[in-house]
A and B are shown apart, each in its own frame.
Chain A
Amino acid sequence: MTESLPPTPANPPNGSGDADVLATGLRFGYRKNTPVVDGVDFRLDTGRVHCLLGDSGSGKTTLLRLIAGLERPDEGEIKIAGQLVSGGPKHLPAEDRPIGMVFQDYALFPHLSVRKNVAFGMRHRPRAERRAIADELLQRVGMSGFETAMPYTLSGGQQQRVALARALARDPKVMLLDEPFSGLDAAMRDAVRETTLKVMREAGVAVLMVTHDPREALVAADTVSVMRRGKITATGRPEEVCVRRQEYRGEGAQRVQYERIEVRGTDDTNSATA
């Protein structure tokens, strides 16, 4: 059950306002009687970055896949921009939804150049236009000069940015990011995250980002939902959901201060030395 938090601008009550994604009563399991997503109500608003926080196996990636149309819900419905995309007999496949998705492993097509990867989703446009848009997007994510490079020659951070440009090329209303920074080393992560968020804010899309790292949610998100065993257990502003605590470890000269982050609605805590 969703832990009730006071309705705030960041947490408007269900059903009101202009939601970009509205999911109600979602249920889904890969096998019978073992629900992975177990009765989720969920909304996502335009121009906002929403983080889905949870342990591995909590169902957050599956929720993302349901919204993307890569899985078909057993129960419940999903609306994107007011249009019913899943519900009852209706199931709009992923290729027909106004979404863009960035995968954990980036999933760049290994046989296509960077430019062709970005242009992949723009079949409906003439060739010259495809090329111009692709190059423009690559510039926006800071990957100009790599147009003809093949994906395997790129570093993880570069691949991530190409994947982002590729997902944006279809003018999506909703961007779905599945652990988009987990494959990067810590130093790189901050820089890439910053670019990503900036580009997406400029594009004015609704962003749903799955992560298991509360730190990331604190830095990046406007709102956070916590997922546990297929249910959303808390929703709110990041500082409401994730509580920072300063603690000390060790004795005497060895004593260090570190930060501990507690997440409401799970037993999950996350800490790091400061």
Chain B
Amino acid sequence: MAKLIRPWPLACLMICGLVALPTVTVLSSLFQPFGEEWNHLAETRLTDYIRNTAILGVAVCFFAALIGTAAAYLVGNHDFPGRGFFSWALILPLAVPGYIAAYAYTDLLEFSGPLQTWLRGTFGWGRRDYWFPQVRSLPGAVAILTFTLYPYVYLAARAAFVEQSRCVLEVGRTLDCGPWRSFFRIALPLARPSIVAGTLLVMMETLADFGAVDYFAVDTFATGIYRTWRGLESPTTAAQLATVLLSVVSLVLLVELLARRRARYHQLSSGRAAVSRTKLGIVGSAAAIVVCGLPVLVGFIGPAAIFIFMAIDTGDGRAVEVVREYGSNTLVLSAIAAAIAVALSLIVVYSQRLVRTRTTLIAGKFAGLGYALPGPVIAIGLLAPLSWADHKLNGLLTAGFDLQVGLVFTGSVFAVVMGYQTRFLAVALSMLETSFGRIKPSLDDAARTLGASNTGLMTRIHLPLLRASVFAAFLLVFVDVAKELPATLMLRPFNFDTLAVRVYQLASDERLEEAAFGALVIIGVGLIPVLVLSLLLDRHGRKAPAPPTDEVARV
């Protein structure tokens, strides 16, 4: 116990406590009376929330697993024209946030959109002469989220297939397993833990999605929480609603943890041996190109192209104006949040290295769980304690010094930056944990015997050795913050809009053309880590060290 009452571990515990605050607040709402609003909710909307969230989660996971696994198996174990291109292109949709894709396809496919207009013009159809699928619907949301989230499965599955491939599959061949049989009987079962882990990440992202379902008017828990908070003005009921989502997320997290533990056993490292890929014939190659090309087309090329045309089409400078006006907000906010996240995770990871007790280790793990919390849950969990703190502070200052400072916490970027820490600290944390683990402990001991203090060890040994990882962690958090919608929407100070928020508002106001350039910038920013990641995957070639899924997860 005494070991913990020292500056570093104490700081570590405080950081972890801070990050855990939203969860604690949300859970504590269970002890408050379920009010009138809850009953109202239960009678009207709750079944919709449950039904839609469940259908969305299951369907998106199913299709994402299907696409991700198929593409990974084709790219990992087969040779066909374009394989090299698809190998990295299949990750690109990670750069497109669900809400951006939703806006793009709504614009393309709605009644007044270019496609239907063209169809009517070409065939002379009237409004009632044909049937066309409604984009803004539950199936539409499933499609959008599937095509933007499948890369999580693809990445995990590809790493698994590539690692296992050589010997095991060849043994299968000698035992008279045809290509299909060897896939279903050997490759798939071996890769299953990784695929499950990737799919569960998809599940968590789906549960956390706000922008796409909100735009499609599909009521899920995420939008429900937002609406209860905003419309019913009942934070307690919103928090009670959030506990339901929280418990589902915890369950997913638990399953993921178990799946990942098993995945570790399955990584039979086969050295640097080159993968022997099966060469596909003409028909096979054509099929492979379709299977791999469609997700890239729908998930990335489509939305990017739609916004590029839209931006050119508008061409009156209003689109650029949006970026100029709100881009700097995004830039500043993301940079601040990323710098803080990196600093905090350095403290956490370093304290764990200095004082390896169960308490610091568990605290660190706990701090990492925030990434599973959907933005609306974090926002609800933060607003109550921060408003309370504002209230108390002003009460004290008014009483003591006759001072009115206003809303220090909820009225400034403090709240939103703190929200980002809860959600994205894990990103920086897992990045730095991995790199810290690679520094031999004997280097620490050597530095100590040569006179370095705690701080000296950090500044003279660890930081220089971790430079690249620190930068990478900063970049990852930066990009995540820049794309984040619901937490920003709910926690930002009055009149402070980021690019993501502005794009959301413009889309909601049916002024999407003005948002086109902003949307493109968001996609562009999202591309940075995706490109870095694909470069990394390429450099390590076959031996990509099965990127720890949660590290990749947040790209």
A interface residues with partner B (beta carbon < 8 Å) = 65, 68-70, 93-97, 99-101, 103-105, 107-111, 120-121, 123, 163, 166-167, 169-170, 176
Contact = CB atoms under 8 A, between A and B. Distances in A.
B451 A170 contact: yes
A107 B465 CA distance: 14
A94 B449 contact: yes
**What 8 A-B pairs have minimum CB-CB distances, sorted nearest first?**
A121-B450, A107-B442, A107-B446, A94-B448, A101-B449, A103-B442, A95-B451, A111-B464
A98 B448 CA distance: 12
B471 to A, nearest CB: 15
Interface string B13-24: 000000000000
Nearest to A119: B450
A103 B446 contact: yes
B440 interface: yes
Given A70-B445, A94-B445, A103-B442, A110 B465 contact: yes
A120 B465 contact: no
Contact of B449 (A95, A109, A110): A95
Contacts of A176: 449
Contacts of B451: 95-96, 121, 123, 170
A70 B461 CA distance: 17
Contacts, number: 64
A93 B464 contact: no
Interface residues of B, number: 17
B450 to A, nearest CB: 3
Given A111-B464, A111-B465, A103 B452 contact: no
Determine the main DSSP class of A at the interface with B.
loop
Most chain B CB atoms below 10 A, which of A65, A99, A120:
A120
B447 interface: yes
Nearest to A97: B449
B217 interface: no
A166 B450 contact: yes
B445 A105 contact: no
Given A109-B461, A110-B465, A95 B448 contact: yes
Contacts of B461: 109
A244 to B, nearest CB: 34
B312 interface: no
A65 B15 CA distance: 31
Nearest to A95: B451
B449 A120 contact: no
A107 B440 contact: yes
Contacts of B443: 107, 109
B466 to A, nearest CB: 10
B465 A170 contact: no
B434 interface: no
Candidate in B440, B445, B447, B460 with the most chain A CB atoms within 10 angstroms:
B445
A24 B456 CA distance: 32
A152 B456 CA distance: 23
B448 A107 contact: no
A167 B445 CA distance: 12
Contact of B447 (A65, A99, A104, A109): A109
Interface string B527-553: 000000000000000000000000000
A107 B445 contact: yes
Contacts of B28: none
A40 B448 CA distance: 24
27 contacts: A65-B445, A68-B448, A69-B449, A70-B448, A94-B449, A95-B451, A95-B456, A96-B451, A103-B446, A105-B440, A105-B442, A107-B440, A107-B442, A107-B443, A107-B445, A108-B446, A110-B465, A111-B464, A111-B465, A120-B450, A120-B460, A121-B451, A123-B451, A163-B446, A166-B446, A167-B449, A167-B450
B450 A68 contact: no
A95 B445 contact: no
Contact of A170 (B442, B450, B464): B450
B457 to A, nearest CB: 9
Contacts of B440: 105, 107
Contacts of A103: 442, 445-446
Given A70-B449, A107-B440, A166-B446, 18 more contacts: A68-B448, A69-B449, A70-B448, A93-B448, A95-B449, A95-B456, A101-B445, A101-B446, A103-B446, A104-B442, A105-B440, A107-B446, A109-B447, A121-B449, A121-B450, A121-B451, A163-B446, A170-B451
